[in-house]
């Protein structure tokens, strides 16, 4: 009888050991090498539906209003960088030199100054455009460490076409006569380049 119990205990240990190794093996097979797939927040999904005129940001803070301000500032920053990139890309492609204009306007500056002034001009154009953006969606969370996690989606207060037109007009208003003539001669081409570059 004692021998029977010893044999049963040994069999149980062997079977449970096999089960454990099978369980570990099956767990290893299901692990994604890229890590855990995260679902997009509703604000991110909403922004992705209109990538030219919407963007999102997120912020975390112990005060809800501060977390919202951080999220909004991040979204506005993304919008500004997108507009700046679109302007710089379109002007380069069309042959308009913002650095040259800055030097002409200032009576001849150093190359560094010209580049800085061109960047200031592009930033100014972006700042004008993002004044016309509004929060259109918010997701609010309260985390385990008692902080607010806020997502916001910002949207330009007009259509994609209106946004491109505003950017083009802002560029035209700030450049030299010679470069303005280049843009006017190829207006549709320049506008389309701006429009197509308005994405993340």
Using one digit for the tens of pLDDT, what is the confidence trace for 17-56?
555 444 444 445 567 788 888 788 999 999 999 999 999 9
Query: b/e string for 111-150 if b means 16 or more Cβ within 10 A?
Result: eeebeebbeebbeebbebbbeebeebbebeeeeeeebbbb
- pLDDT above 60 (res 142): yes
Classified as helix, coil or strand, 138 is strand
- pLDDT above 50 (res 144): yes
Q: What is the pLDDT of residues 65-116, one digit of tens each?
A: 999 999 999 999 999 999 998 888 888 877 776 655 444 444 444 444 545 6
Q: What is the mean pLDDT of the chain?
A: 79
DSSP assigned state of 20:
H
């Amino acid at each position: 009888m004692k021998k029977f119990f010893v044999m049963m205990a040994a069999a149980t240990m062997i079977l449970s050991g096999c089960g454990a190794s099978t369980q570990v093996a099956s767990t290893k097979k299901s692990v994604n090498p890229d890590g855990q797939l995260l679902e997009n927040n509703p604000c991110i999904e909403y922004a992705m539906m209109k990538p030219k005129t919407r963007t999102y940001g997120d912020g975390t803070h112990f005060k809800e209003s501060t977390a919202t301000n951080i999220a909004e500032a991040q979204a506005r920053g993304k919008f500004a960088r997108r507009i700046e990139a679109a302007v710089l890309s379109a002007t380069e492609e069309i042959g308009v030199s913002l650095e040259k204009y800055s030097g002409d306007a200032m009576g001849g500056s150093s190359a560094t100054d010209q580049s800085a002034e061109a960047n200031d001009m592009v930033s100014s154009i972006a700042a004008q455009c993002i004044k016309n953006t509004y929060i259109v969606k918010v997701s609010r969370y309260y985390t385990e460490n008692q902080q607010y996690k806020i997502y916001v989606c910002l949207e330009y207060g007009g259509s994609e076409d209106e946004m491109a037109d505003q950017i083009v007009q802002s560029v035209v208003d700030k450049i030299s006569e010679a470069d303005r003539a280049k843009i006017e001669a190829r207006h549709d081409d320049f506008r389309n380049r701006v429009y197509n570059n308005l994405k993340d």
